[in-house]
Amino acid sequence: MGTIQRNMSLTGDASDHLNTLQKIGTIIGFGGLAIIVLSLFNNFENNGLWLTISLLAIASGIILYARGLYMDKLQGIKNHGVWFKSISSRGFLGWIAGILLTGFYIILYFFAELLGLGQGVDGSNTGIVGLFDPLSRLLSGNPASQWFVYGTLYTVAILAFGIKFLMKYKHNRYEQLRTLSVMFFQTAFAFVIPELMARLNSDTFSLPYNDLKLMWPLNYYAFEQWRVDQFINAQTIGLFFLILAILIVFVVSPFLTYKYGKRWYCSWVCGCGGLAETAGDSFRQLSDKSMSAWKLERWMINAVLVFSVVMTVATISTYLGYDPNKYWFTKNVFLTSVAVFLTAVFAGVAYWKRKELKKDALTGAIGFYALTIGFIVLIAFIDLSQIKIDAANLSFGLNTKVYAGDAALRSFYAFGIGSIFSGVIGTGFYPILGNRVWCRMGCPMAGILGIQQRLFSKFRITTNGGQCISCGNCSTYCEQGIDVRAYAQKGENIVRSSCVGCGVCSAVCPRGVLKLENGPLEGRIDANQVLLGNDVDLMDLVNNKN
Amino acid sequence: MEHIIIIGNGISGVTVARHIRKLSDKKITIVSAETDYFFSRTALMYVYMGHMKFEHTQPYESWFWEKNNITLKKGFVKHIETATKTLEFAEGDSLKYDKLIIATGSKPNKFGWPGQDLKGVSGLYHKQDLENVEQYAPNNKVCKRAVIVGGGLIGIELAEMLSSRGIPVTFLVREKSFWNGVLPDGESGMINRHIKNHHIDLRLGFNLKEIKSDENGQVSSIIITETGEEIPCNYVGLTAGVSPNIDFIKTSDIELGRGVKVNRFLETSVEDVYAIGDCAEQRDGGIDQRRPIEAVWYTGRMMGETLAQTICGNRIQYKPGHWFNSAKFLDIEYQTYGWVFAKPRENEAHFHWKHEDDTKCITVCYDTTTNLFLGINTFGIRMRHEVFDRWLTEQKDVNYVMDHLAEANFDPEFFKHFEKDILNAFKNNLITA
């Protein structure tokens, strides 16, 4: 039997065809981007006007394109041609987009002066940053920074691609509400409110830029000295925010995760998640579903979590150590309480959840626990701030500063995890590695929420009896690289720490097999070898034996 | 060590192999002429539509087979010599088995239409069929129009596939309404309208007379029996059902009917030879109200689960539970639990509810003398298999089912619920009936 090997992406041209509205959208959108790029070379007379035109053009370009894409389609799943289109199948356009995005992040993080930051008279902004000055002054009263530029574009992307997503999933209220939620939290909590609150700052009163929903450890600088000091110095209102931040991490988040799974944060609230679910939606199918990727994920995300805990503990204990009278805590009380807390959590899990932990998970947990406690003991006996680290030795001479030990940890974390992993790789590589590679492999917040979700949550994705036909749509469109089908075809619920509850597996399932649910803890994980629909005696015989 | 050979690497063959492996360390070989690895046949359409790549239709990574010590052999069996327990391959080699499981599935029906073997004519069953569609209907420049003959589950999938690439589709359906031999009128009518809303040229009540060829032996048009109308086209999809893929067994002494004849234990007429899945035919007629040949994914899997027990020493009958099935008609999902026939049979009644948006409906079948709930068809509303399976076992009456319909809802969170509307309609229906 002859087999014809044809590259379908070369022949399926119906899906790569742009209609008139899509073409208009493309022109307008890229026109808006072009204004931003042009501002690098030419200081406009009226930045406010040009910025308005540019942002409106970008947003309306995206929306017009989406309208062209979906307007004459009936309600339903819109994945025609996903694997034929160059942009969404790691084709030429995908690689170009990946390179441009990565380049943008590198400039943003490390060469902001190229964007015009502080390049004008008396340190005023020129170029792109200068273009954004009027909007920044309007909101916070201050000139823009590269972070303001980034925050604005980020918000515009979530809003415009969010509208595209709403059009795509107009038949699915779960997807609609979830998307409206991330659009709201990004615009209000991450962008407008903190900018407006900056207006309250004066010579005698100042609060740090505070995105309330950005929790530690995703917000890895949440408890750095300058922030904590600012909060404490701002008295009642500052203490309120500081205590709120701690309560969110230790009370609110565990409670919501228990009730609804980590999705309450990762796909309803989080800004990284928000961008991934909107601008990144076209790349969700690119996540790696192999067993080896899963193994890598489990080591990597937990290693980052340990790193973030150690780094934070080191930071806090250092300033508690050299400024013992300023805070309620002393260094040793703090370190002891952290160690006791972690030990209690670990012992509790190892005892009560021992049946749910497979051998490799337990081994990993013991290893990571021992590593964390080891570092805490180390920190107790040495004063990190007295250690000097010459960064030149570690950075091939690129960074010539000398850091104190705790600052070195912070800087290395901020560089390696905060900038390179979450930004350059996490977002820049959307078109190559998929839209959630940071959330899956690197986010320490997702790591904590994931452990909670796996062990202490009512959330699961239910498999509908024996209805699975193993088609693979669920696995293909899982942005977290979960092989959903592997569970569904065994009639097993999906209870995975990495699941962010985006609901797309359920949406794309052609047979109505998957449903995101919160239910009782009992029977949450249940593999069936013989599926519902077969001989009742056989089902009993085989399923109960395991 | 006992050598089990399975011919066919579809859902039936792979399920039986996996379960034998769980229960024993017997030597297992799976033979296939179609593909190297197991793939989900039902997902072929998504490859053509660009939702997935072919690799995505393979439920197991390639290391799975070696890890579980299951040997995969690519080859076409041309003869089974049961006396010496030998398989002879078209490639010239042979293999000895101790037990043989035939799980070769189906092939598309061809009813002797003139031109049915022309280039550009195919069914949609095997991977090779997909390659055919890809070759003759890659886009709307090469394929100006496609005609699909036969209005069943595969026909509508093929129509959706072709129109996803912007190819105009004419869909010839013999029945007066789509899949009306299975679906009650209300449902079938709703699907007719949905097909037309997708700009598919649905022709109800028409038959194919012949397929005409161009000078290269390739399809150029078809002729409709009833009207004599000639429709120019570059691809013809034959989707008038499937039949057991058993031609290669005809030279053996295994008893065949339309399929491989098996008893309730899935044993054929020859000792140590078994048949499961689409190619097996129950010799005593269908089980319960089922057909003797069940060409359904789920039943293939269930036969595999069952036969593994017998092969491994626990000889048991194939005793499927309550009937269930599912499909998707373009954008509308369909599930069925229990029995709902196209027309109510004696002492049966149907309650039909349809949403005003014309994409959701249900039909409930019950016994008019006992009020016993017999089955439900649901379109556009997902329902729980487990709940209906339990209600059928507990023999709930139809009033109970209608009152508790919300328990069975399986739609995603925040979806609009219709149980109240349905219940009200049901009550009104009883009053007016």
**Is A87's pLDDT higher than 70?**
yes
Asked if the Cβ–Cβ distance from B412 to A470 is below 8 Å, we say no
CB contact under 8 A, A464 and B386: yes
**Strands B324-329, B121-122: pairing kind:** unpaired
Q: Residue A326 — pLDDT band, cuts 50, 70, 90?
A: confident
Q: Report the range of poorest mean pLDDT among A29-33, A242-246, B10-14, B216-220.
A: A242-246
**Residues B35-53, mean pLDDT to the nearest whole number:** 97
Residues 244-273 of B with CB under 8 A from A: none
| Residue A106: closest CA among A501, A496, A463, A425 | A425
Question: Can you give the pLDDT at residue A13?
Answer: 47
> Closest-CA residue in chain A for B392?
A533
What are the chain B neighbours of A8 within 8 Å (beta carbons)? Answer: 47-48, 50, 134, 138
What digits encode the pLDDT tens for the residues B335-372?
999 999 999 999 999 999 999 999 999 999 999 999 99
Out of A85, A172, A466, closest to residue B324 by CB:
A466
Angle, CA B333 vertex, CA B329 and CA B334 arms, to 5°: 90
Residues of B in contact with A6 (CB under 8 A): 131, 134-135, 138
Which residues of B are less than 8 Å from A511 in CB distance? 326-328, 333, 335
Chain A: give the shortest CA distance to residue B313, in Å. Answer: 14
Q: Can you give the pLDDT at residue B432?
A: 58
Q: How confident is the model at residue A5 (pLDDT cuts 50, 70, 90)?
A: very low
Per-residue pLDDT at A203: 80
CB atoms B309 and A538 under 8 Å: yes
Q: What's the pLDDT at A406?
A: 86
B51 chain-A contacts, CB cut-off 8 A:
77, 79-80, 82-83, 473, 476, 508
B96: amino acid identity, one letter: K
Give yes or no for residue A325 having a pLDDT over 80. no
Looking at the partner chain, which of B46, B61, B384 has a beta carbon nearest the beta carbon of A473? B46
Average model confidence (pLDDT) for chain B? 97
| ipTM metric | 0.96
Residue A512 is nearest to which of B306, B316, B410, comparing CB atoms? Answer: B410
A355-366 confidence digits (pLDDT tens): 888 888 999 999
Can you tell me the mean pLDDT for B381-409?
A: 97
- Rounded to an integer, the average pLDDT of B117-145 is 97
Q: pLDDT tens digits, residue range B399-432?
A: 999 999 999 999 999 999 999 999 999 999 876 5
Q: Which residue of A has its CA nearest to B326?
A: A511
Between A304-308, A382-386, B118-122, B412-416, the lowest mean confidence (pLDDT) is in A382-386
CB A101 within 8 A of CB A431: yes
Question: Is residue B314 within 8 Å of residue B320, measured between CB atoms?
Answer: no
Q: What one-character DSSP code corresponds to residue A72?
A: T
pLDDT computed for residue B102 by the predictor: 98
Give the C-alpha distances (Å, rounded to integers) separating B257 from A264, B223, B243, B268, B294: 57, 33, 11, 11, 14
Query: Do the chains contact at A14 and B167, CB–CB below 8 Å?
Result: yes
Residues of B in contact with A294 (CB under 8 A): none
Task: List strands edge to edge, sheet with B99-102.
Answer: B70-74, B27-32, B3-7, B99-102, B273-275
Residue of B nearest to A471 (CA): B43
Residue A41 DSSP symbol: T
Using the predicted structure, report yes or no on whether residue A324 has a pLDDT greater than 90. Answer: no
- Chain A residues close to B33, C-beta within 8 Å: 1
Residue in A75, A470, A535 closest to B306 by CB = A535
| Residue B43 to residue A80, Cβ atoms within 8 A | no
Task: Report the mean per-residue pLDDT for chain A.
Answer: 91
**Contact: A173, B53; criterion CB under 8 Å:** no
For residue B326, give the nearest of A4, A171, A467 by CB distance.
Answer: A467
A177 vs B contacts (CB less than 8 Å): 414
| pLDDT above 70 coverage of chain B, percent | 99
Asked if the C-beta of B104 comes within 8 angstroms of chain A's C-beta atoms, the answer is no
| Shortest CA gap B156–chain A (Å) | 14
Q: Considering only residues A200 and B4, tell me which one the structure prediction assigns the higher pLDDT.
A: B4
Please check whether residue B53 touches A, CB under 8 A. Answer: yes
Taking an 8 Å cut-off on Cβ atoms, the answer to whether B50 and A79 are in contact is yes
CB atoms near residue A523 (< 10 Å): 9
Burial of B66: CB neighbours in 10 Å, binned 0-12, 13-18, 19+: exposed
Name B375's bridge partners: B338, B365
CA distance B254 to chain A (A): 25
What pLDDT, on a 0 to 100 scale, did the predictor assign at position A401? 83
Where is pLDDT greater, at A245 or A395?
A: A245
For chain A, the distance separating the N- and C-terminal CA atoms, rounded to the nearest angstrom, is 42
> B377 forms bridges with which residues in the sheet?
B336, B363
Q: What is the mean pLDDT of residues A305-316?
A: 93
**Record: contact A467-B324, CB cut-off 8 A:** yes
Q: Which residues make beta-bridge pairs with B348? A: B367
- The pLDDT score that the predictor gives to residue A1 is 35
Whether residue A6 is predicted with pLDDT greater than 70 in this model: the reply is no
CB contact B316 to A (< 8 Å)? yes
Task: Write out chain B residues lying below 8 Å of A501, CB-based.
Answer: none
| Distance in angstroms (rounded) separating the CA atoms of residues A152 and A39 | 16
φ, ψ for residue A424, nearest 5 deg: -60, -50
Min Cα–Cα distance to chain B from A543, Å: 12
Residue A9 has pLDDT above 60, yes or no: no
Interchain CB contacts (distance < 8 Å): A and B: 208
**Structure tokens belonging to residue A108:** 């943003």
What does the pLDDT read at residue A545? 54
Instruction: Provide the 10 A C-beta neighbour count for residue A20.
Output: 8
Selecting from B140, B331, B335 the residue whose C-beta is nearest the C-beta of A467 gives: B335
Q: CB distance from B167 to chain A under 8 Å?
A: yes
Closest-CA residue of chain A to B36: A3
Q: Are A409 and A311 in contact (CB under 8 A)?
A: yes
* pLDDT value at residue B431: 67
**B391 vs B252: CA distance, rounded Å:** 45
Backbone angles phi, psi at A334, to 5 degrees: -60, -50
Nearest to A511 among B166, B326, B413 (CB): B326
Checking phi first, is residue B371 left (phi over 0); if not, alpha (psi -120 to 50) or beta? left
Identify the pLDDT of residue A527: 76
| pLDDT(A369) > 90 | yes
Residues A471, B131: C-beta atoms closer than 8 Å = no
Q: Is the pLDDT of residue A354 over 90?
A: no
CB contact under 8 A, B52 and A76: no
Q: Is A464 in Cβ contact with B40 (below 8 Å)? A: no
Contact (CB<8Å) B59/A467: no
What's residue A98's pLDDT? Answer: 96
Q: Is the pLDDT of residue A210 over 90?
A: no
State the pTM of this model.
Answer: 0.95
Chain B residue numbers touching A85 (CB-CB < 8 A)? 50
Residue pointed to by tokens 């091939």: A396
Instruction: Report chain A residues whose CB lies below 8 A from the CB of B61.
Output: 290-291
Contact B40 A14 (CB under 8 A): no
Contact A517 B413 (CB under 8 A): yes
Chain B residues with CB inside 8 Å of A81's CB?
Answer: 49-50, 164
Q: DSSP secondary structure string, B371-425? A: -BEEEEEEESS-B-HHHHHHHHHTT-BHHHHHHTGGGGB-PPTTPPP-HHHHHHH
pLDDT single digits (tens) A255-271: 999 999 999 999 999 99
B351 touches chain A (CB under 8 A): no
Q: Determine, for residues B410 and A4 on separate chains, whether the beta-carbon distance falls below 8 Å.
A: no
Q: Residue B362 has which token pair?
A: 């249900």
pLDDT tens for A494-522 read 999 999 999 999 999 999 999 999 999 88
The verdict on B358 touching A (C-beta cutoff 8 Å) is no
